[in-house]
Structure 1
């Protein structure tokens, strides 16, 4: 069969978007045509062109013009060295499918580029989705380490499961901290970190070559509350203190400044002062996360962000979706 002719630049981005909706979102070609406002014949030609010209592999690759523009705007506004915006898959709520696929692709590239080194791993559903989508690859010289205590009352949300999956898929060593994310008291935090093996893992986490994290919020239904890592009254204290966004248990106000709360001195993760100057990339997005993501971006701690198109538009325009 003859190849489809090379398309104009304007159609290239549309072809990538059509391929993303067809192969990543699982839409039929008729559904793609309806979503993009195209004829069925044109949708078919765009998807065929994307496939024949190497855009479609195991995943969909290639820039969508609108996403590239957003990446540039966000990088310049928040001083990022890396930003990736993935096309919208029109998911309700948290865009786990889109960010899971993009996050897995990012992790694979970074793991292969490191060769040997330490990757610190945070928490959250988006990060878990990325690890779940990660293909098997051999990276025996890479080490993974939890960036925070991982014991929870909700087994399904236990960060240890993410670390286990990483080790299983890469044949790499993975180190966890079998202690709570938040200690009951300041004294308990010191005792926990003084336990044999825990201190060494904590120091390894602080020295990570790359930290891959999620971003939370200070909303009453935030995952930290729903998984019972913290109590409802504790998140209310965070909100009363002006907290908006959360990174590794540290909360920030709308201007990106750290806020002191009842949790601050009890958080078992690298301190904010130890995070500055590190390479930290967040996988985060969704309409309920915009304010939280913007808050953490303004903190200046992040060097990179992988997010979805709707969130990116809100961040670039300083609005909520």
Structure 2
């Protein structure tokens, strides 16, 4: 039998019958007069000796490969990688929102509550989400409001918009995202309305967040919620990223910083306890931010593009 398994010409014949003619292993075994396990061994040998090499000829094969590598490198539940294909940042963000919306739509029947952060990435998710009746899911904001500008990016607004699409109910967090006066913040947290919504946010089954870079092209700075002094202070403290406006370092560890103490929202440790936290992020300025967020353990599912994914994978871990 060993001689048969090592017969290169017979191996080639078996491969042609199996891969080109579509015959089963049992049919091939009967045709050449050997047992089915022998045919199986010959097919395995063909792969080992590179007589046969299998390629998946599909544009999604590249992104699937990136997904698998990210999942393995960071130990997260799932990575969803979208092909950038030369699209501009606006269209790409729409594609990422669609990918995240598709993922959540498939899972939403198994959850009772969904937490919504703020920002452009989260807004792209809400915009892409289909209209579907799902009255059993409550939508909850994960952070307070970000001033008076860009209201369409605020957590409360996005929460309401998604709840309307789901034909369901939601909560509202009537508080600013940041209060630098800690006494005032603590007094607000004593309010049952505010504290109650934060407790709801801590207990959601699934959360949708973005990942920001607070010191390079920061949306919080762009809309005036972080001053130049704040950004410089974060830079000096080695801030590398933020999730739900809580800042972290290169290892994904929350910063010991006054700005983190001023945030009214669900913090990074609480996000870790949520069943599934989905982060949507893209961009050269966020490569290290995403890498560090994944190291920190607050993200379970990452939605990004292939270029960003490759740059993340190229980062050497300590």
Corresponding residue for residue 142 of structure 2: 147
**How does the TM-score come out when normalised to structure 1?**
0.76
Aligned partner (choices 307, 313, 316) of residue 313 of structure 2: 316
**Displacement of 1:13 after TM fit?**
1.3
State whether structure 2 residue 238 is matched by structure 1 residue 216. no
Query: Is residue 213–residue 241 contact of structure 2 (8 Å, CA) maintained in 1?
Result: yes
SS of structure 1 residue aligned to 2:232: helix
State whether structure 2 residue 279 is matched by structure 1 residue 234. no
CA distance in 2, matches of 1:300, 1:194: 29
State whether structure 2 residue 235 is matched by structure 1 residue 244. no
Query: Is residue 153–residue 229 contact of structure 1 (8 Å, CA) maintained in 2?
Result: no
**Displacement of 1:84 after TM fit?**
0.9
Contiguous gaps of at least 5 residues in structure 2: 1-53
State whether structure 2 residue 232 is matched by structure 1 residue 258. no
Corresponding residue for residue 124 of structure 1: 119
Moved more, 76-85 or 155-164: 155-164
Cα offsets for 1:155-174 (capped at 9, x unmatched): 34333221121011111111
Corresponding residue for residue 105 of structure 1: 102
Mark the CA change 1:177 to 1:200 in structure 2 (over 3 Å): closer, same or farther. same
Corresponding residue for residue 133 of structure 2: 138
Cα offsets for 1:211-270 (capped at 9, x unmatched): 111111122530011112222211211111000110112111122222122201111112
List aligned pairs for 1:10-25, cutoff 5 A. Answer: 10=55, 12-14=57-59
Query: Is residue 93–residue 288 contact of structure 1 (8 Å, CA) maintained in 2?
Result: no
SS of structure 1 residue aligned to 2:242: strand
CA distance in 2, matches of 1:245, 1:147: 18
State whether structure 2 residue 248 is matched by structure 1 residue 203. no
CA distance in 2, matches of 1:272, 1:166: 23
Query: Is residue 216–residue 222 contact of structure 1 (8 Å, CA) maintained in 2?
Result: yes
Contiguous gaps of at least 5 residues in structure 1: 1-8, 15-63
**Displacement of 1:125 after TM fit?**
0.4
> Which of structure 1's runs of 4+ aligned residues deviate more than 4 A?
9-12
Moved more, 124-133 or 270-279: 270-279
CA distance in 1, matches of 2:197, 2:191: 11
CA distance in 2, matches of 1:302, 1:282: 6
**Displacement of 1:176 after TM fit?**
1.9
Query: Is residue 215–residue 239 contact of structure 2 (8 Å, CA) maintained in 1?
Result: no
**How does the TM-score come out when normalised to structure 2?**
0.77
RMSD of aligned residue pairs (Cα, Å)? 1.8
